[in-house]
Chain A
Amino acid sequence: MDYLEYLLDPEHWDLAVTGNIPSLVVDHLYYTVITLVIASLIAIPVGLYIGHTGRFSFVAINAGNAGRSLPTLGLIILLVTVIGFGLLPVIIALVILAIPPILTSTYAGLRAINPASVDAAKGMGMRPIQILFRVEIPMALPLILSGLRSATLQVVSTATVASYVGLGGLGRLLVDGLALNQYDRVIAGAVVVAALAIVLDLIASSVQRLVVSPGVSGRALTRTSNKAPSSSVGPATATAG
């Protein structure tokens, strides 16, 4: 049997055929995006609040551990029995999965900021909200985004469970393949999920490059090798090659 037969069969990429791979990818992306948007809307403000004020920091610290230990499939089944079938229990479970990495890294990003910069911002006459948006968030951005990236990877791979409760997405290939003993179908599902994860991460890393200041991402240091001797005072120093 050819392991890649299902994946390479043009019929499975034909948009006219039901259950085609592109439509499964679209469903999968749909679940992923909704989950990440909702999780970010909850986790980033909470993380910012905790990081900014230092209050309830045990929440941010323990969220990471709690999140890792929750079995998502079990959670979905529990939610389905409580609120019934549909998109809602799946999204809730995935959001619960995505919150901890975003929350923890947002909190950590804010805590890692050099307090002298915040003090300077206050001393220059910025108001609290200006300090948050003009100083704290830009400086914490590398960590916030890395939390978002790891949440994205987790959600993309875990969104396959949606199919266990009758929804679409790439999990269909896995669930149906296993049920029908069609292992090339299972392999197709695994490969496409992995490819999707890689593509999303590449996109995220280019976005990160665009929005994070070179001054905090470390790029400013590699772009020009510069920790130059001070300009006009001090003894003349030989110019480095």
Chain B
Amino acid sequence: MITFDKVSKTFPDGTLAVENLDFELPTGKITVFVGPSGCGKTTSLRMINRMIEPTGGRILIDGKDVMSQDAALLRRSIGYVIQHAGLFPHRTVIENVMTVPNLIGTDKKKSRATAMELLLRVGLTESMANKYPVQLSGGQEQRVGVARALAADPPVMLMDEPFSAVDPIVRAGLQTEFLRLQGELGKTIAFVTHDIDEAIKLGDKVAVFREGGHLAQYASPQELLENPANDFVADFVGRDRGFRSLSFDSSGVLVLDSVDSVRSGSEILVLDDAGRPLGWAGPGIADERSPLSVAGTFTAADSLRVVTDLAISSPVGIAVRVNDSGVADGIIRHPSLVRQLDERRRQRAGTAS
């Protein structure tokens, strides 16, 4: 657990970057610091490993004040991923990854084997090991940066916009792999981003910062979307927060209609012999021999967001659920979905007050 205990930072030039920050980052979870540029995210992150020293308050890791520890030793025990990777250009990929194990004097052979394993783990290949950073793409550099931070197996990781320098497709891939990796490793992670979508996707907890290093809200992503503490958070989280909050609820709560209800009538779901949906037909829609595409199906594991999206994009306003073998086992019409979402909202409002 990382505790910010009334932490403030005033730079020598008088800039008040962080003021009276008071919150806790849970062990084994990802806590995302998010907020507009210049609101003190990096400053807060770097105070954890003493790259910046607080001018007021204390930061404790598992109850121990970071200022009471030797700065270099403290930093070796904390993984640090720097924006734009910050790799050492004169060292090969594997040497970069072995930086901290070399500093703490781990046996060379052992640390090389660990480093190699880590490269694979972050999605690189063994053939990358002897390349130099100039020979890597942006996405590969970020992966090496993450592997380097993990090399000494630190319980705590600090990550400052690690995925900001790559294009959206690569970023989405890195985020997914990062979540998979965290699922295996369970580190205590402080993660800085200015991208609210990234914060919502990755965070177990999200700390929304506002100008002057104030904490505007500290909550789970779902809470943030559904109950923003103030206009600043609501604005920062964005207009479609209602829609996005649906991604936290499973479609399992929905009451569906039977597939039989769309086997005849004005909208007909055409199935193959096994019962898998082929498409939509009906008077004024299409002939049963060449039905309109279903435009996707959902399973019980999908979120309400997926179902809503399907109902909106379906040519007939109906989302189709399938079981694990792809057989249609239920449908939901747009009006029914809206009614059920409305009930859900009312229930929540009731329990929240």
Contact = CB atoms under 8 A, between A and B. Distances in A.
Interface centre among B137, B167, B172 (most CB of A within 10 A): B137
A127 B167 CA distance: 35
Contact of B169 (A120, A221, A234): A234
Contacts of B169: 233-235
Interface stretch (A27-35, A181-189, A222-230): A222-230
Contacts of A121: 88, 99
Contacts of A221: 134-135
Contacts of A235: 169
Contacts of A215: 88-92, 132-134
Contacts of A114: 86, 89
B192 interface: no
Contact of B132 (A124, A125, A214, A234): A214
Interface in B3-34: none
B90 A227 contact: no
Contacts of B91: 138, 213, 215
Contact of B173 (A213, A220, A233): A233
24 contacts: A116-B82, A116-B86, A117-B86, A120-B80, A121-B99, A122-B75, A123-B49, A124-B75, A125-B103, A126-B103, A130-B103, A213-B89, A215-B90, A215-B91, A215-B134, A216-B90, A220-B131, A220-B135, A227-B136, A228-B140, A231-B123, A231-B128, A232-B123, A233-B174
Given A215-B133, A220-B132, A231-B128, 5 more contacts: A116-B82, A216-B90, A228-B137, A231-B125, A233-B170
Interface of A: 114, 116-117, 119-127, 130, 135, 138-139, 141, 213-216, 220-221, 224, 226-235
Interface of B: 49, 51, 72-77, 80, 82-84, 86-92, 99-100, 103, 123-125, 128, 131-140, 148, 166-167, 169-170, 172-174, 177
